[in-house]
């Protein structure tokens, strides 16, 4: 099992760990990690690990068997042996931009309250696909509303509910294409705002900024037709 420390502290940039396994493909498995594995439209983190005066560049992280998180080396080289203690160094600038884009996309689903059919997060931009037969009448108004939400400096927090509680509240799930992971008994919710100022609450396993103001200004890009009733809305970090 790899403890997903990135979930409890997405701002942690360095972390000691121990090698617990290698994968047949040449991946590295640690007992705990700050590297987010590719999933939910969010790319895996990059960075490097160091041990005994040696350094290994990590290109990305992916989900492995069971609860394993696999660090994928940037080149096929000799891995630190099982049992070796090392220190992880996260590619912070890229991760932080993913966090900003991810939280901005949650807010986009607030100002455009339509079923979400897909999404993708990048370091410069992101997009959501909506069940949207017709494009919005005023794209500029959507952009203004989105930036106003960001400027409210709302806190971004998490909580957990049971799978039964989620089943009793199906409206929490906005994404039609990807359902929250099940089988562990608990579902993580990401909340934006508190009390009467809460604007969003939905299942999510990704990393987010602590407050919406940290996102900075965003700009809406193209609104593309992706099918009879499907439209893709892109946003860019300014």
Phi, psi of 139 (to 5 degrees): -65, -35
| pTM score of the predicted model | 0.93
Q: Which secondary-structure segment (H or E) carries 186?
A: strand 186-192
pLDDT reported for residue 161: 83
Residues constituting the chain: 238
pLDDT reported for residue 168: 80
Q: How far is 196 from 148, CA to CA, in rounded Å?
A: 17
Please state, rounded to an integer, the average pLDDT across all residues of the chain. 92
pLDDT reported for residue 89: 98
Going along the chain from its start, the domains and CATH numbers come out as: 3-90 (2.40.30.130), 95-237 (3.30.980.10)
Contact, 226 vs 133, CB < 8 A?
A: no
pLDDT reported for residue 45: 98
170-227 pLDDT tens trace: 777 776 555 666 556 688 899 999 999 999 999 999 999 999 999 999 999 989 998 7
pLDDT reported for residue 177: 56
Instruction: Tell me the mean pLDDT in the region 52-79.
Output: 94
Contact, 57 vs 74, CB < 8 A?
A: yes
8-19 pLDDT tens trace: 999 999 999 999
**End-to-end CA gap in the chain:** 38
133-183 pLDDT tens trace: 888 889 999 999 999 999 999 999 998 888 787 778 877 777 655 566 655
pLDDT reported for residue 134: 87
pLDDT reported for residue 183: 52
% of the chain with per-residue pLDDT over 70: 95
């Amino acid at each position: 099992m790899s403890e997903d420390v990135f979930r409890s502290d997405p701002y942690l940039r360095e972390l000691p760990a121990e090698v617990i396994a290698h994968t047949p493909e040449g991946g590295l498995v640690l007992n705990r990690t700050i590297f987010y594995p590719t999933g939910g439209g969010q790319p895996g983190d990059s960075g490097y690990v160091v041990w005994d005066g040696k350094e290994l560049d990590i290109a990305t992280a992916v989900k492995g068997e069971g609860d394993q998180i696999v660090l994928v080396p940037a080149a096929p080289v000799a891995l630190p042996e099982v049992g070796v203690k090392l220190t992880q160094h996260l590619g912070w600038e890229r991760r932080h931009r993913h966090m900003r884009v991810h939280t901005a996309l949650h807010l986009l689903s607030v100002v455009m309250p339509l079923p979400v059919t897909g999404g993708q997060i990048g370091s410069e931009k992101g997009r959501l696909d909506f069940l949207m037969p017709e494009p919005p009448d005023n794209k500029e108004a959507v952009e203004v509303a989105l930036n106003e939400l960001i400027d409210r400096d709302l806190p971004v927090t998490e909580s957990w509910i049971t799978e039964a509680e989620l089943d009793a509240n199906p409206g929490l799930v906005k994404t039609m294409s990807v359902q929250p992971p099940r089988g562990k008994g608990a579902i993580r919710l990401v909340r934006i705002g508190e009390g009467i100022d809460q604007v969003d609450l939905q299942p999510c396993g990704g990393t987010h900024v602590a407050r919406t103001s940290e996102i900075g200004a965003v700009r809406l890009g193209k609104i593309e037709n992706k099918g009879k009733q499907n439209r893709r809305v892109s946003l860019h970090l300014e």
